[in-house]
Amino acid sequence: MSKIKHPGRPSPLQLDLANRLIQQITTGELSVGTHLTEEGLASQFDVSRTPVKAALRLVAQQELLDYHVNSGYFVSANTTPKPTSDNVVAGISGDALYRQLITDRAHDLLPDTMTETDFLEHYSVSRSLLRGTLVRMAAEGLIEKRRGQGWNFPPIVNTPEQIQESYQFRTMVECGGLLESSFRIDAGQLQNSRLAHEKLLQQTEADYPVSAFFSLNAAFHEMLARFSNNRFVLQAMQQQNQLRRTDEHIALYRDPRRIDSCKEHLQIIEALENDNREWASALMRHHLAISRNIK
């Protein structure tokens, strides 16, 4: 069988879909043997089949789905749903472990490569809780499963100098991309982004977790880069999104700017809807400056 080639890193939408599927599988909402189809999931999540196909591959890489030629994907028999009581072990919840792993990684307390045994020596949790947390992090691009045993943390931006340089670079690329002569808006995508931001503003924090906001935030900036119709602007934005994942998760937990950030995004969207790209670029510069200054 020939190997499937995966073009580039997963998009925020693909990661979000994969994470939602992983949660449904690990909580038992999707039972062992359930047949997952691209068409059915695309309808369920109200997206096209392309990101669904990528999300299914991501979940299969975590060994939660089995792929059968000519049949598709099925929930793996190796998957054991986690009981509610397993979400808290020795006073540590899955969310607490998730935050601790991100924080420790951001402060260089964890090496680039670790095995499950290494993690268990650092944290007093059950193996099942650890695995569930690592799978969740993998779905969000915060860690990668190695072939065989072990996990790899991707490169991150985690020093004050790197963070400042990252924002300086983003200001040049993103603000400049909005002013490119090749810039073209996809009205449908822009409208969908507006609706997603307005929906977030209507929900409570419990209904819209940090990870979901990060996906929306990353997708917004990537969408504008795509509108530039310059492949290098888009690639630069995708790379920055990947490098910023760990630091952005930390920042959102430490000093949440979800509401203000959403309002700033909506101002940029409104400027573009009014065909005022100069104002949109100025708003983007202000938006990035505020985010940089709170780091």
Domain stops at, among 75, 102, 121:
75
Q: Could you tell me which residue, 219 or 203, shows the higher pLDDT?
A: 219
Asked whether residue 230 is assigned to any structural domain, the reply reads yes
Q: Are 22 and 59 in contact (CB under 8 A)?
A: yes
Within a 10 A sphere around the Cβ of 46, how many other Cβ atoms?
7
Contacts of 70 (CB under 8 A, 6+ apart): none
Structural domain harbouring 280: 160-293
Residue 170 belongs to some domain of the structure: yes
Measure the CA–CA gap between 285 and 132, rounded to whole angstroms: 39
How far is residue 46's CA from residue 7's CA, in Å, rounded to a whole number?
23
* Confidence (pLDDT) at 10: 67
Residue 81 forms part of a structural domain = no
The answer to whether residue 107 is domain-embedded is: yes
What b/e readout covers 73-97, taking b as 16+ CB neighbours within 10 angstroms? bbbbeebeebeeeeeebeebebeeb
Answer yes or no: is 3 within a domain: no
What's the mean pLDDT in 36-40?
91
Q: Considering the domain boundaries, does residue 80 fall inside one? A: no
Secondary structure element (H or E) that encloses residue 75, with its range = strand 72-75
Confidence class for position 207, pLDDT limits 50, 70, 90: low
User: What whole-number distance in Å separates Cα of residue 262 and Cα of residue 258?
Assistant: 6
The band of 21, judged by pLDDT with boundaries at 50, 70 and 90, is confident
166 and 206 in a single domain? The answer is yes
- E strand or H helix that includes residue 106: helix 94-106
Domain boundary among 75, 99, 115: 75
In whole angstroms, what is the distance from residue 142 CA to residue 156 CA? Answer: 9
| Shared domain check, 124 and 34 | no
Residue 240 is assigned to a structural domain of this protein = yes
- Out of 125, 152, 179, pick the residue that ends a domain: 152
**Residues 219 and 173 placed together within one structural domain of the fold:** yes
Averaged pLDDT for residues 112-122: 90
pLDDT digits (tens, 9 = 90+) for 64-87: 898 888 889 999 887 655 443 333
CA distances from 43 to 13, 52, 151 (A): 15, 10, 33
Residues facing residue 73 across a β-bridge: 36, 67
How many independent structural domains does the chain possess? 3
DSSP element (H, E) containing 67:
strand 65-68
- Which whole number is the average pLDDT over 84-96? 49
Among 29-38, 138-147, 206-215, the minimum mean pLDDT is found in 206-215
What beta strand segments (E) does 79-168 contain? Answer: 88-89, 92-93, 113-114, 144-145, 151-152
Q: What percent of the chain has pLDDT over 90?
A: 29
- Across the chain, what does the average pLDDT equal? 81
17 domain-assigned: yes
Distance CA 188, CA 271 (A): 16
What single DSSP character describes residue 156? -
